Structures are given as structure tokens and as C-alpha cells.
């Protein structure tokens, strides 16, 4: 027991990205920490998410590039027909997963974190029940508890999965086979990334979206230009306003498509496989949260900006939640950031999370990224706060580096306040958009204005000049707005 008679200063339930960062940060600051994990160390990101999917995207992206004879001939290059080995691409992803999982586990051990294997649950806000893999049940006391149990794929009613012909991203990352024709249900970032992988490797894709436009979570202008290239320009038939009301696994897989509004059966498809990419649900059911009176919000744990768990809007002492289970910007770096914010608060360094400055990226070829407000939300904010919203567009086709790469399909949209010049958000589609967004995210985090940002020198020739051009265009509107208010 430690000096306060607790077994630990901090127990973290769940060793995904959120739990990992929290546990490591706490141990490095002298706390006695245990982390409980029921599956593989590293959680979704390392085992079934970011890591394997990005490895598959890297390999399939190279296949796409080498197979694009028209693009290569623009450089005067004529490559031999591309051959690839599916199993070796899958091995690349699996090997990367093992390496990163092992590094992460060692990093926790080095920091002095006690790793406990089994299922954790709450038994009050300073007591955790641990059901070990052997079946032994233990109670552990802890001064603070962080819940970081993440999320699982959501499979809508009517869809039956068998893990082989109808599956979620959990299985897709293993790339066990390449169906000739695959239907992807959902056109969010996971659906888009797998459409990128499958089409690069020669599969035909039918993308089904229930909402009235494909890519519904992306900026409409970005969607217009990105879908032209990423969907229409590829072996992808995309349909919107249709609900996959029934999916029966087998050979072939049967899909029934109904009108989203009338529920009338519209079409039956017979495909080789179906990937269900319809979002994720929080892993919160078996945590015994009732024992501390927490009311879940659609399964998500309510938290404040310091990551304290809320009961009827008020923070519970010593109980914290981070990552996908809180339902805020469900991304690995959000989970990690929330984890360190929770621990800083435990250490009495009061800190709040700033969701506005957290970027998001889709690693298609080319990539899509965003940070801050959507245009719709920014307009609402502008009308409430009484300022004029500025919107400028900067095009990759005017960028020397993009032109040199023969990849000038791209757009950046910057949102800012016309009165102060403060950057409110950005949406980018184009080469290395995921890297480009970081510059804007940093500016949003510091609440910087386009007036100061437009003076910053960008390396020539680089893609970052797309951002520079946007800042400079925006700065003229701020000056203009200031002049016209005189």
C-alpha cells in the first residue's frame, strides 16, 4: 500500500492510446500506477486501427503509383507491369503492429507501470475489480481511476457479420483475401481509406452511404473536389440515400438496399464481400458505472474539459475518463491528449483540453484533413458573436511543388474572423494534407491571427506555401474589413 493506504495512486482501465499516455505520464511524474488490459496491449490504434491501416495504405499507395502509367509517363517513366504479393503486404502491417505493440509495452514497463491482464470494472470510485484471464477476481484500491476502454465497431441492425465475407475494420486490417467485388458500407474516413486500399489492389468497390451525400462528415467543397478523384476517378460506384437494411454473409454476400426515407426495398446486390464501416460504439457496458451513479450518454461517459467523469453535470471526485469512450473527436491523438490532461489534473496542474485545435486526417491518396470549425458551425458562431466570417481558398494547382510532383489536384479552405483575423479552422484535400494541417492546428491552438501568420516565411518550393497563400489572401480581407470600419 502507498502512504494513503491505497494499492495504487492511479489505476487505468484500458491500454489503448489514451490509457497508455495517461499511465506513462503519471508514472514519469512519480505516481504508483497500474494499467489493466483485457486484450492486446495498444488497443484499437495499434492492433486494429491507425497502425495496420496506415501500413496497408503505404504499401497499396506504392502499387497505385507504380501502376499509374499515365502519371509516370508525365515524367518520361515507363515502368514494367506491377506485381504484388498480398500476403507480404499483410505481413508488413502485422509486423509493424507487433513492433509497435512491443515498444509500447516496454515503454510502460520502463516507466515502472504495473501491467495487469484481465477485465477491469468499477466497484466504487476508488476501487477497481479485476477479473484476471485465469478467472480469479481481485479488488484493488486506487486514489484515482482513469477509464480508457475505447470503442468497438458498430454493426447496424439487419447486418450479420461472419468475419470472413462480411466484416468490420477489425478483420479488414488483416487483408486475408482480396475480393473481386467488395461493398463498403459507410463513407466516413475508415470506409474511404479501405476504398483506397482495395481499389489500389485491383478490387471493384461499391460504396453505400445512408445519408444524402457521400462523405457526409467532410466539408462540402472539399467533398466535391475529393470525391471526383478519390471515388469517381476510380473503380468505385458510390451510392447515397440508401440503407443496407439486410446483409447476409456467404458466397455471394446478399445485400438489400432500402430507401433511407421510405424504407422501401430498392435493390439487391450480390457481392464477394462487405466491409461494414458505419462508425464505432463506446466500450462502456461492462464497467459497472451504475455503482458510481454515472448516466451514460448513448453509451459515452460524460466528462468535463478536465476529463473528470460527470454525474448530473457535476464532477465525481477521483474518477476520470479519456479517449473514444468519451465520444469526443474519436482519434488516437485526442485520446492521448485527454490522457495527459487527466493526469496533469490529478497532479494538481489544472489543465483543460482544447478540442478546437485537434486536427483530423484521412490517409487516402491524396489525403484529406481538417481542424477547428466546419463552415456551418463557424457561420453560426459568427452570427452569435456578431462578426463576419472570412473564407478563402488556396489551390494546389498554383503550387510549384505540387506541380513538380504532377499532383496538383487539391484545395485548402481557410476560415477566419474578418474583425480580428483569428484562424477558426481549415479543411484541406491534396498531397500531404495530413502533414499540412498541423501548421494550422498550431495556429488555432495559439488563437493566432492571419495578420501575424501571413508574415511567416515558408520554404520554397514546398506544399506549405498552399497554407501561406491562404494566410496572405485572408490577411487582405482583414485589412480590408478594418479599413472599411474606419
Ligand X SMILES: Cc1cc2nc3c(=O)[nH]c(=O)nc-3n(C[C@H](O)[C@H](O)[C@H](O)COP(=O)(O)OP(=O)(O)OC[C@H]3O[C@@H](n4cnc5c(N)ncnc54)[C@H](O)[C@@H]3O)c2cc1C
Give the residues lining the site for ligand X (CB under 6 A).
13-19, 36-39, 43-45, 48-50, 53-54, 119-120, 148-151, 169, 190, 283, 286-287, 323-324, 330-333, 335, 363
- Backbone phi, then psi, for 232, in 5-degree steps? -65, -35
| Closer of 14 and 410 to ligand X (Cβ) | 14
Q: In terms of CB distance, is 54 or 401 closer to ligand X? A: 54
DSSP 355: G
Residue 460 bears catalytic tag: yes
Q: What are phi and psi of 446, to 5 degrees?
A: -95, 5
Minimum CB separation of residue 99 from ligand X in Å reads: 17
**Cα separation, 368 vs 392, whole angstroms:** 17
Residue (120 or 425) nearer to ligand X, CB: 120
Q: Considering beta carbons, is residue 330 or 415 the nearer one to ligand X? A: 330
Classify 117 as helix, strand or coil: strand
We find the least distance from the C-beta atom of residue 105 to ligand X, in angstroms, to be 12
What is the closest distance, in whole angstroms, from the C-beta atom of residue 28 to ligand X in the complex? 18
Looking up cell 502507498 gives: 2
Nearest residue (CB) to ligand X, 50 versus 231: 50
Alpha helices in 39-188 (DSSP H): 43-48, 50-67, 69-73, 86-111, 169-172
Task: Give residues with Cβ within 8 angstroms of 308, minimum separation 6.
Answer: 315, 316, 319, 320, 345
Q: Which one, 166 or 287, has the nearer CB to ligand X? A: 287
Residue 259: closest CA among 211, 227, 188: 211
Least separation in angstroms between CB 306 and ligand X: 17
Place of cell 445512408: 210
**Catalytic residue, candidates 25, 71, 92, 460:** 460
Pick 6 or 17: Cβ nearer ligand X: 17
The residue behind cell 443496407 is 244
Instruction: Please state the closest distance from residue 21 (CB atom) to ligand X, in A.
Output: 8
CB nearer to ligand X: pick between 44 and 144: 44
Provide, rounded to whole angstroms, the least separation between the CB of residue 483 and ligand X. 42
Residue 204: enclosing H or E segment and its boundaries?
Answer: strand 204-209
| Residue in the structure block whose three cell numbers are 488555432 | 444
Strand stretches in 134-203, DSSP E: 137-147, 151-153, 166-168, 181-185
Rounded CA-CA distance 11/148 in Å is: 10
Nearest approach, Cβ of 37 to ligand X (angstroms)?
5
| Burial group, residue 187, by CB count within 10 angstroms (0-12, 13-18, 19+) | buried
Q: Which residues pair with 138 in a beta bridge?
A: 130
Map residue 134 onto helix, strand or coil: coil
Q: Smallest distance, Å, CB 84 to ligand X?
A: 21
The SS3 of residue 337 is: helix
What would the DSSP string read from start to end of 220-274? HHHHHHHHIIIIITTTEEEEESEEEEEEE-SSSEEEEEEETTT--EEEEEEESEE
C-alpha distance from residue 336 to each of 146, 281, 433 (Å): 13, 19, 22
Q: Which residues are catalytic?
A: 460
Amino acid at each position: 500500500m502507498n502512504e494513503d493506504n491505497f494499492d495504487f495512486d492511479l489505476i487505468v482501465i484500458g491500454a489503448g492510446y489514451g490509457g497508455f499516455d495517461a499511465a506513462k505520464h503519471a508514472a514519469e511524474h512519480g505516481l504508483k500506477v497500474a494499467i489493466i488490459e483485457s486484450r492486446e496491449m495498444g488497443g484499437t490504434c495499434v492492433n486494429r486501427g491507425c497502425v495496420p491501416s496506415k501500413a496497408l495504405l503505404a504499401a497499396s499507395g506504392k502499387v497505385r503509383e507504380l501502376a499509374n502509367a499515365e502519371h509516370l509517363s508525365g515524367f518520361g517513366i515507363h515502368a514494367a507491369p506491377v506485381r504484388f504479393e498480398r500476403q507480404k503486404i499483410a505481413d508488413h502491417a502485422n509486423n509493424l503492429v507487433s513492433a509497435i505493440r512491443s515498444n509500447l509495452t516496454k515503454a510502460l514497463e520502463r516507466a515502472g507501470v504495473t501491467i495487469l491482464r484481465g477485465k477491469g470494472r468499477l466497484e466504487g470510485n476508488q476501487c477497481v475489480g479485476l477479473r484476471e484471464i485465469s478467472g480469479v477476481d481481485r479488488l484493488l484500491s486506487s486514489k484515482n481511476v482513469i477509464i480508457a476502454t475505447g470503442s468497438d465497431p458498430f454493426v447496424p441492425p439487419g447486418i450479420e457479420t461472419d468475419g470472413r465475407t462480411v466484416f468490420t475494420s477489425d478483420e479488414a486490417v488483416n487483408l486475408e483475401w482480396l475480393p473481386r467485388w467488395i461493398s463498403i458500407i459507410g463513407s466516413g474516413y475508415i470506409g474511404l481509406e479501405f476504398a483506397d486500399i482495395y481499389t489500389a489492389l485491383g478490387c471493384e468497390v461499391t460504396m453505400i452511404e445512408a445519408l444524402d451525400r457521400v462523405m457526409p462528415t467532410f466539408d462540402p467543397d472539399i467533398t466535391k473536389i475529393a470525391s471526383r478523384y478519390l471515388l469517381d476517378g476510380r473503380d468505385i460506384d458510390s451510392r447515397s440515400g440508401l440503407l443496407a437494411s439486410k446483409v447476409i454473409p456467404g458466397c455471394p454476400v446478399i445485400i438489400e438496399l432500402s430507401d433511407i426515407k421510405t424504407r422501401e426495398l430498392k435493390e439487391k446486390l450480390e457481392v464477394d464481400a462487405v466491409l461494414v464501416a458505419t462508425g464505432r460504439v463506446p466500450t462502456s457496458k461492462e464497467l459497472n458505472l451504475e455503482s458510481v451513479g454515472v448516466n451514460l450518454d448513448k453509451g459515452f461517459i460524460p466528462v468535463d474539459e478536465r476529463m473528470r467523469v460527470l454525474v448530473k453535470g457535476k464532477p465525481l471526485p477521483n474518477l476520470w475518463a479519456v479517449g473514444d469512450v468519451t465520444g469526443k473527436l474519436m482519434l488516437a491523438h485526442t485520446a492521448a491528449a485527454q490522457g495527459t490532461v487527466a493526469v496533469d489534473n490529478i497532479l494538481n496542474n489544472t489543465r483543460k483540453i482544447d478540442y478546437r485545435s485537434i486536427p483530423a486526417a484521412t490517409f487516402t491518396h491524396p489525403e484529406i484533413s481538417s481542424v477547428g470549425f466546419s463552415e456551418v458551425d463557424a457561420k453560426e458562431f459568427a452570427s452569435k458573436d456578431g462578426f463576419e466570417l472570412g473564407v478563402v481558398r488556396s489551390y494546389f494547382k498554383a503550387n510549384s511543388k505540387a506541380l513538380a510532383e504532377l499532383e496538383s489536384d487539391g484545395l485548402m479552405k481557410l476560415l477566419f474572423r474578418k474583425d480580428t483575423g483569428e484562424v477558426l479552422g481549415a479543411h484541406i484535400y491534396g498531397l500531404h494534407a495530413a502533414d499540412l494541417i498541423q501548421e494550422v492546428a498550431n495556429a488555432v491552438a495559439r488563437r493566432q491571427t492571419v495578420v501575424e501568420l501571413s508574415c511567416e516565411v515558408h520554404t520554397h518550393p514546398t506544399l506549405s506555401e498552399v497554407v501561406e497563400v491562404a494566410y496572405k489572401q485572408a490577411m487582405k480581407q482583414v485589412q480590408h474589413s478594418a479599413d472599411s470600419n474606419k
